[in-house]
Amino acid sequence: MIDIALLRSEPELVRENLRKKFQEHKLPLVDEALALDEKRRALQTEGDALRASRNTLSKQIGVLMREKKTEEANAIKEQVARNAERLAAVENETAETTEKLKAVMMRIPNIISKETPIGKDDSENVERQRFLEPRVPAFDIPYHLDILEKLSGIDVDSARRTSGQGFYYLTGDVARLHSAVLSYARDFMIAKGFTYCIPPFMIRSEVVSGVMSFEEMDGMMYKIEGEDLYLIGTSEHSMIGRFMNTVLDEKQLPLKLTSYSPCFRKEKGAHGIEERGIYRIHQFEKQEMIVICKPEDSEAWYDKMWNYTVELFVSMEIPVRTLECCSGDLADLKYRSVDVEAWSPRQKKYFEVGSCSNLTDAQARRLGIRIKGENGNRFAHTLNNTVVAPPRMLIAFLENHLRADGSVEIPQVLRPYMGGQKEIVPKP
């Protein structure tokens, strides 16, 4: 949510931002918000005047009563009563107008970075850097589900019977590899100075609306029937919500947190869940990183955070690249975002394995996360980034470490988390 003062002072900047995001249908929201803001301020001015008048008239009544001017005092009392009735109406209308204004403001996207390329969708994202040389082995690489099945590492059929499409069982060494990567990612981030957290996996609606747009909420979140609770789509949701309506001492910042959680997503609008494979699923696990910092520090943290993910994948000997997300691919609360994509030797192209975002003060305004410093209070900046998210990581891992005989090499950094195991071999 942007600052209403910015909307008042630079409405054309906000309109131009909507055009850059190809959201022209939202242009009327600018005028609607300005009209509601003007109405709210007029009501607040009238309310202040009525309260001041009440205080003045009350003093007059006291004077008149002491002078035994009862008739004049009663006339003023009647005026006070009329003013009180009007004040009650003004206060009710002010509250209603404020809520309407908030609802409109929450639909206006955050101002995007000057570094963000302009484009309609993810096909126009811009490659920034590559890390490690992509390679294609001399032998054919099977589809990842075929690799998993030959390693006796997955059971999709049973999951369909128990849970439906978009679920799976991981078993044996593959399940252990999955846990090993998450444990390695946890320790990797702790070594970077982040505090490890395990958050609640369900959050209330006020937190959901604070961390994402309504469109994202509808396309992602599962609601618990009969309760004001949603299953999280990523631990960022509950991790940022932890600081809702708090004032943080500037000296505490930055807060550097890394969190583990299962994640649950409807994947609405994702053209259906694949019949085979584990690229798009309803449930997965993830290690996330979150930073809450001073506004002047958020761009530096943005660069540090995506670099951590790159470093992690490179340490597992998986080639990656970074893509700067274009304006049309940015969710409404994002100021700037970069995707980290891993190399797929089978497809001979990169695919997304993580995303790093700077949301500036958009989430903090919605959730009331403020910083207290020498120059008063201001809103914090929030950032989030995927450290690693199986199963997409598993796809990249298997394809990049598969041998011609069907075995999979375990890189050095993961062997301590696999009990010293150096490879996973197909079961006879």
Are 235 and 288 contacting, i.e. CB atoms less than 8 angstroms apart?
A: yes
Task: Report residue 100 as tokens.
Answer: 């309407």
Checking if the pLDDT of 222 tops 70, the result is yes
pLDDT of residue 268: 56
CA distance 401 to 174: 13
Cis ω for the linkage preceding 416 (within 30 of 0): no
CA distance 145 to 380: 43
Taking CA atoms, 372 is separated from 63, 234, 251, 298, 366, in Å, by 45, 28, 9, 17, 17
> Who wins on pLDDT, 279 or 226?
226
Are 168 and 156 contacting, i.e. CB atoms less than 8 angstroms apart?
A: yes
**What's the pLDDT tens digit per position in 144-163?**
999 999 999 999 999 999 99
Strand-strand pairing, 369-373 and 376-379: antiparallel
**What's the pLDDT tens digit per position in 39-62?**
999 999 999 999 999 888 888 888
Residue type, 239: M
Checking if the pLDDT of 112 tops 90, the result is yes
Confidence of residue 130 (pLDDT cuts 50, 70, 90): very high
Checking if the pLDDT of 100 tops 50, the result is yes
pLDDT averaged over every residue in the chain:
93
| Domain 122-424 in CATH 3.30.930.10 | yes
Per-residue pLDDT, averaged over 302-316, amounts to 98
Confidence of residue 310 (pLDDT cuts 50, 70, 90): very high
163 CB-near residues (< 8 Å, 6+ apart): 282
Per-residue pLDDT, averaged over 297-323, amounts to 98
pLDDT of residue 278: 81
| Domain 4-105 in CATH 3.10.20.30 | no
125 CB-near residues (< 8 Å, 6+ apart): 117, 119, 323, 324, 325, 326, 329, 339
Checking if the pLDDT of 133 tops 70, the result is yes
pLDDT of residue 275: 47
208 CB-near residues (< 8 Å, 6+ apart): 217, 221, 230, 237
CA distance 355 to 286: 12
75 CB-near residues (< 8 Å, 6+ apart): none
CA distance 73 to 192: 72
Strand-strand pairing, 246-249 and 369-373: parallel
Checking if the pLDDT of 274 tops 50, the result is no
Strand-strand pairing, 195-197 and 255-264: parallel
pLDDT of residue 347: 93
Taking CA atoms, 65 is separated from 68, 77, 85, 331, 369, in Å, by 5, 11, 23, 64, 50
Checking if the pLDDT of 272 tops 70, the result is no
What global pTM score does this model have? 0.89
Checking if the pLDDT of 233 tops 70, the result is yes
pLDDT of residue 44: 95
Are 207 and 238 contacting, i.e. CB atoms less than 8 angstroms apart?
A: yes
31 CB-near residues (< 8 Å, 6+ apart): none
Sheet holding 283-293, edge to edge: 126-131, 320-324, 336-344, 349-358, 381-388, 283-293, 255-264, 195-197
CA distance 137 to 145: 19
Per-residue pLDDT, averaged over 136-142, amounts to 94
DSSP character at residue 134? -
pLDDT of residue 276: 60
Q: How far is CA 267 from the centre of its chain?
A: 16
Checking if the pLDDT of 423 tops 50, the result is yes
Checking if the pLDDT of 65 tops 80, the result is yes
Q: How far is CA 322 from the centre of its chain?
A: 19
**75 phi and psi angles, rounded to 5 deg:** -65, -40
Residue type, 386: T
Checking if the pLDDT of 271 tops 60, the result is no
Per-residue pLDDT, averaged over 175-182, amounts to 96
Checking if the pLDDT of 121 tops 90, the result is yes
- State the Cα angle at 318 between 313 and 323, rounded to 5°: 70
Taking Cα atoms as reference points, which of 54, 331, 371 lies closest to residue 219?
331
- What residue spans define the domains of the chain? 4-105, 122-424
Taking Cα atoms as reference points, which of 201, 198, 234, 229 lies closest to residue 216?
234
pLDDT of residue 273: 41
CA distance 15 to 19: 6
